[in-house]
Amino acid sequence: MLPTHHRRVTAACAAVAAAGALVLAGLPGSASAQADPATAPSRSAAPSHSAAESAAVGRTSPEILRAMRRDLGLTTAQARTRLVNEAEAGAVAGALRNALGRDFAGAWVRGATSATLTVATTDAADVPAIEARGARAEVVGHSVRRLDAAKARLDRAAHKAKTRDAPVWYVDVRSNAVVVRAVHASAATSLVSAAGVDTSLVRVVRTTERPRPLYDLVGGEAYYMGGRCSIGFPITKGSQQGFATAGHCGRAGTATSGYNQVAQGTFQASIFPGRDMAWVATNSQWTATPYVKGQGGQRVGVEGSTQSPVGASICRSGSTTGWHCGTISQHNTSVTYPEGTISGVTRTTVCAEPGDSGGSFISGSQAQGVTSGGSGNCSSGGTTFHQPINPLLQQYELTLKTTGGGDPGPGDPDPGGTWAAGKVYAAGDTVTYGGATYRCLQGHQAQPGWEPPNTPALWEAV
């Protein structure tokens, strides 16, 4: 008899075995078969493979595909294939994270187009279940829970310790360690010692990087507030329209004008340092749209906010440097700027320069975050951090402006339950809907049409 959590792994794998090529970022559908009728409501129809591909990448902007061709060395067909495969990997990783529980030690994808998924565990008994889902298994010494706890201690110690010479630290699931990037190794040693973290959990990497916020110069859809920054993503808060952006661009009460120097709005709230998030309420002359600005004025549609996994492709929009793409290096990163330390940001290989601050990070059609800061530039290469969009939406109770959710399909007009459109869900959250219980696979903001029975890439029946 398997231990309890291993029975859960086996059951979870059986329940999602029919999912196939899941759609990108929670758009409705799965590839080749219906979900297991024992675990999914009978009304959950599964679209054909072509329908899933269309949902995953059919509405992805040509600007995204062109930037992926240029920066990742892919053909258009390869870029589309990569997006579909990354979407499938994200859903499978979410299901296994929920099933492995305390054993889970991270997941990541790699490969130019294949997006091969690796799932790490601290228990070798989990390997068959991981491999049964088509993922590569890796047995490691530390769980994500333990590494996250160690990083949280570093975050707390950073409030008192000097971290200018050890400016970046994060949980690196691929090396199964908390990595501290330091200009001087002694600075990393001091931070780890002050935090009381077991040194066996930490790997120190020497670096010359000194990240800074990306201020000034015109970006994407630029806005002005004494300096210049970029709009991240248009949002609404009830009937109020506005946009999300970086906290270092302004404080509550700061007035803004648009790219055309017309009065635009006012910062309603801002956090920096600690986090790097803010939102601006605009006046009636400005209308929130579900787009970000691409090269040549082309518009890029935003359909949701499902977070992509480590190793996935990601692109950024900013007026200083235009469109650039790369990959996600780590989530849950902390970085020290001259103004202080911020935590919970995502580190990427995408380049950026001053003036790109606040601008949009997007994977396929899914909003990822707003540009915070970085090091290097788009001539010699660099590293850029973004504030994830879902915590920002949750913090200020904002609704991302999107091009529209999927077709909700047949169902009860009032199914009842705790699931709610507009709420931000994290991986592992549970809800009820139509008399059934579901567990979240990938973090996202819920939308009408993305009800749990309709989105097997986002929810699994439990």
We report the CATH number of the domain holding residue 264 as: 2.40.10.10
- Is residue 175 domain-shared with residue 309, that is, in the same domain? no
Question: Is 276 an active-site residue?
Answer: yes
Cα–Cα distance for residue pair 414/403, rounded to 1 Å: 24
- Kindly state the DSSP code that residue 406 receives in the 8-state scheme: -
Q: Which string of b and e fits 388-420 if b means at least 16 CB within 10 Å?
A: bbbbbbbbbebbbbbeebbeeeeeeeebebebe
| Domain extent at residue 121 | 4-36+47-59+85-139
- Is residue 110 domain-shared with residue 225, that is, in the same domain? no
Asked if the structure places residue 337 within a domain, the reply is yes
- Is residue 343 domain-shared with residue 298, that is, in the same domain? yes
Residues 404, 408, 413, 418, Cα dihedral to 10°: -80
What is the CB neighbour count within 10 angstroms for residue 159? 10
- Is residue 178 domain-shared with residue 295, that is, in the same domain? no
- Is residue 103 domain-shared with residue 249, that is, in the same domain? no
CB-based contact 171:153 (threshold 8 Å): no
What is the CB neighbour count within 10 angstroms for residue 206? 10
Could you list the pLDDT tens digit for every one of the 462 residues in the chain?
333 444 444 444 433 332 222 222 222 222 222 233 233 333 233 333 333 343 445 567 788 888 899 999 999 999 988 998 998 899 999 999 999 999 999 999 998 887 899 999 999 999 999 999 999 999 999 999 999 999 999 999 998 888 999 999 999 999 999 999 999 999 999 999 999 999 999 999 999 988 877 533 223 588 899 888 999 999 999 999 999 999 999 999 999 998 888 889 999 999 999 999 999 999 888 889 898 876 666 788 899 999 999 999 999 988 788 888 999 999 999 999 999 999 999 999 999 988 889 999 999 999 999 999 999 999 988 899 999 999 999 999 999 999 874 444 445 557 889 999 999 999 999 999 999 999 999 999 999 989 999 999 999 999
Asked if the structure places residue 293 within a domain, the reply is yes
CB-based contact 438:419 (threshold 8 Å): yes
- Is residue 99 domain-shared with residue 202, that is, in the same domain? no
pTM given for the model? 0.79
Q: From 356, 373, 400, give the residue that closes a domain.
A: 400
Q: Which of 357, 360, 363, 365 is catalytic?
A: 357
Q: Which of 6, 142, 248, 331 is catalytic?
A: 248
- Is residue 245 domain-shared with residue 362, that is, in the same domain? yes
* Beta strands 202-206 and 177-182, pairing class: parallel
Tokens representing residue 222 in the block: 């630029």
What is the greatest pairwise CA distance in the chain? 69
Q: From 400, 417, 448, give the residue that closes a domain.
A: 400
At position 151, the amino acid (one-letter code) is K
Question: Is 6 an active-site residue?
Answer: no
Cα–Cα distance for residue pair 319/154, rounded to 1 Å: 35
Q: Give the strands of the sheet with 459-461, arranged side by side.
A: 430-433, 436-440, 459-461
CATH classification of the domain holding 174: 3.30.300.50
Residues 405, 406, 408, 409, Cα dihedral to 10°: 170
- Is residue 219 domain-shared with residue 198, that is, in the same domain? no
- Dihedral angle sign, alpha carbons of residues 297, 300, 301, 304: negative
How many domains in the chain? 3
What is the CB neighbour count within 10 angstroms for residue 380? 7
According to DSSP, the residues that pair with 177 across neighbouring strands are 172
Asked if the structure places residue 441 within a domain, the reply is no
- Is residue 110 domain-shared with residue 230, that is, in the same domain? no
Q: Which of 276, 317, 334, 363 is catalytic?
A: 276
- Is residue 191 domain-shared with residue 230, that is, in the same domain? no
Asked if the structure places residue 447 within a domain, the reply is no
- Tell me what percent of the chain is helix, strand and coil, each rounded to the nearest 5: 25, 35, 40
Asked if the structure places residue 445 within a domain, the reply is no
Q: Alpha helix (H) ranges present in 168-292?
A: 185-195
Question: Is 103 an active-site residue?
Answer: no
Asked if the structure places residue 425 within a domain, the reply is no
Tokens representing residue 331 in the block: 């989530």
Asked if the structure places residue 420 within a domain, the reply is no
Cα–Cα distance for residue pair 436/374, rounded to 1 Å: 44
- Is residue 224 domain-shared with residue 337, that is, in the same domain? yes
- Is residue 243 domain-shared with residue 315, that is, in the same domain? yes
Tokens representing residue 346 in the block: 């995502």
HEC profile for 30-81? CCCCCCCCCCCCCCCCCCCHHHHHHHHHHCCCHHHHHHHHHHHCCCHHHHHH
According to DSSP, the residues that pair with 235 across neighbouring strands are 242, 400
Cα–Cα distance for residue pair 16/28, rounded to 1 Å: 15
CB-based contact 348:384 (threshold 8 Å): yes
Cα 278 to Cα 190, 340, 355, 388, 413, distances in angstroms: 32, 17, 16, 12, 36
